[in-house]
Amino acid sequence: MRITLLGTGCPVVHSGRRGAATMVEGGGARLLIDCGSGVTQRLVEAGTKGAALDALLITHFHTDHLVDFYQLMISSWHQGRTRPLPVYAPRSVLDHLTAIMAAWEPERALRVAFEQRNSSTGLEIEPHEIAGGDRLGFGDMEVTVVPVEHGPVTPAFGFVFRAGGMTAVHSGDTARCEALIEAGQGADLLVHEVMLHRQAPPDTHRSATTMDNVASYHTLSSEVGGIAGDMQAKALALTHFVPPDIDRTALLAEVGDGFSGPIFIGEDLMQFDLASGIVRWRDMAASILRRQPD
């Protein structure tokens, strides 16, 4: 199983961190979690493309997890996609995506009529509503849907991926979630969001109430290490940084207070190969993921 962090940012625009998106490959399947800003470019940079995706999984109904959906559809068709894109998401998200497809229907019709390609099937979606506890199958990969704590945005989901004897957990956006900790016990890799609350003080356009509300449905940097420890995860990769600029040394020290395993400050295009234990980013590669004996 391979996990690629395509976008590690948040709604705050950052030149080095694109919007929320993660690719999971294993068991003969290639899955995309969320489609935040810049995902189509990051897919190409990661050596693949939207046309090759077997499914799109959406964690919840928030702009930074959805905003490049239509770009993904069009670019995948231009890349030669000839099959509908299966989309697994909450009903609220599916309704929104259906409305987006309807709003752009005249544009798609014009493209299809004028360009006269062999197929327009690659411009279609195949919607699937998901609920907590669902088990999805993609080739030899099993995905468990876990309800997480992101109220008032409900439902919101995290995912547990299992293939080839490996387990990876993706938190989605959430505060500490006991259901996710239980579902992901012993994971080879936990990919978890984080809010650096000490680096996000109130300012002229965000009051103390605003920041308290934002913090209430995210996981604080002082909490995420304990979550990984309670899950008995073998490694932790942080993503969805709020705010996107971080003090790496301070963050590692804080998270390390609650978790003794390897901790990775996620970067766009960082890739984790769970079978080999190799982590790659840019031109660097290191064998630093360690699986505990069975």
Which H or E element spans position 97?
A: helix 91-103
φ, ψ (nearest 5 deg) of residue 227: -65, -45
Check if the beta carbon of residue 219 is closer than 8 Å to that of residue 176: yes
Least Cα distance to 238 among 274, 262, 213, 211 occurs for 262
Q: What is the pLDDT along the chain (294 residues), one digit of tens a residue?
A: 999 999 999 988 899 999 999 999 999 999 999 999 999 999 999 999 999 999 999 999 999 999 999 999 999 999 999 999 999 999 999 999 999 999 999 999 999 899 887 778 999 999 999 999 999 999 999 999 999 999 999 999 999 999 999 999 999 999 999 999 999 999 999 999 999 966 665 555 767 777 778 878 899 999 999 999 999 999 999 999 998 888 999 999 999 999 999 999 999 999 999 999 999 998 888 776 755 443
> Angle at CA 72, nearest 5°, toward 69 and 77?
135
The pLDDT assigned to 292 comes to: 46
Contacts of 15 (CB under 8 A, 6+ apart): none
Least Cα distance to 3 among 125, 168, 150, 241 occurs for 168
Assign domain 2-287 one CATH number from 3.60.15.10, 3.30.70.360, 3.40.50.1860, 3.30.365.10. 3.60.15.10
Check if the beta carbon of residue 155 is closer than 8 Å to that of residue 90: yes
The pLDDT assigned to 115 comes to: 86
The model carries a pTM of 0.94
The pLDDT assigned to 107 comes to: 93
Which residue matches tokens 């000490």?
A: 198
Residue 293 has a CB neighbour count (10 Å cut-off) of 3
